[in-house]
Amino acid sequence: MNEYDDLINRVSARATASKRHRPPLTADTLATAEERLGFPLHPLLAALYRRAGDGGFGPEYKLFPLLRTTDAEEDTVVDGYLDRVPPADADTWWSWPKGVVPILDWGCAMIAAVDCLSEDGTVLLFEPNAMTGQDLTGAWFIDACSLAEWLETWLARSGWYEEDKVDEEFDMALWPDAASRW
């Protein structure tokens, strides 16, 4: 048993109750996704897709599937990341941090994302409405110090996005690594 087994089992139990829940991915599909990304997913995030399901569960608008499986236009983790990372020679002020994959769209341009390069899989909130000018560092907030913590918050129904908490003051710290990851 690894350190995530109990958490994944509890997430899986809640995920199967979701109407949009998708079956888990194969190891080959996960390998294809990581190859396209150019880096491995955080181990807990990979385990969620392999054991709990390919998205369709989680807070509010539900986790994205990892890869597009039909011709339908749908947000996915891999395409969402690749679409947000500009080519190396692009002349743009806009950039998405390396190794940070989008996992959920909160609406109003806000995106939940996992830092796959951090040991704990920090969950970030990209909130471009908080930016001033073209300083992207002001749009990145720490939603949870780890993916495990973020999932526990969802399981406990105590996240900032819960109906009884929506009107509370938005109080997240800026992500200090934002500027160093472009």
Residue 88 pLDDT greater than 80, yes or no: no
User: Tens digits of per-residue pLDDT, 64-82?
Assistant: 999 987 666 789 999 999 9
Encode pLDDT of 133-145 as tens digits: 777 888 999 999 9
- The secondary structure of the chain as a DSSP string is --TTHHHHHHHHHHHTTSTT--PPPPHHHHHHHHHHHTSPPPHHHHHIIIII-SSS-SSTT-PPPSS--SSS----HHHHHHHHS--TT---S----TTEEEEEEEETTEEEEEETTSTT--EEEE-GGG--TT-GGGGEEEEESSHHHHHHHHHTT-STTSTTTTTS-----B-TTGGGG-
Residue 167 reports pLDDT greater than 70: no
Mean of all residue pLDDT scores within the chain:
88
pLDDT at residue 71, rounded to an integer: 61
Model pTM score: 0.92
The CATH number covering residue 141 comes to 3.40.1580.10
Distance CA 83, CA 74 (A): 13
Instruction: Give the count of domains, the chain.
Output: 1
Has residue 54 got a pLDDT over 80? Answer: yes
User: What pLDDT is recorded for position 153?
Assistant: 94
Q: Range of 70's domain?
A: 5-163+172-181
pLDDT at 90: 67
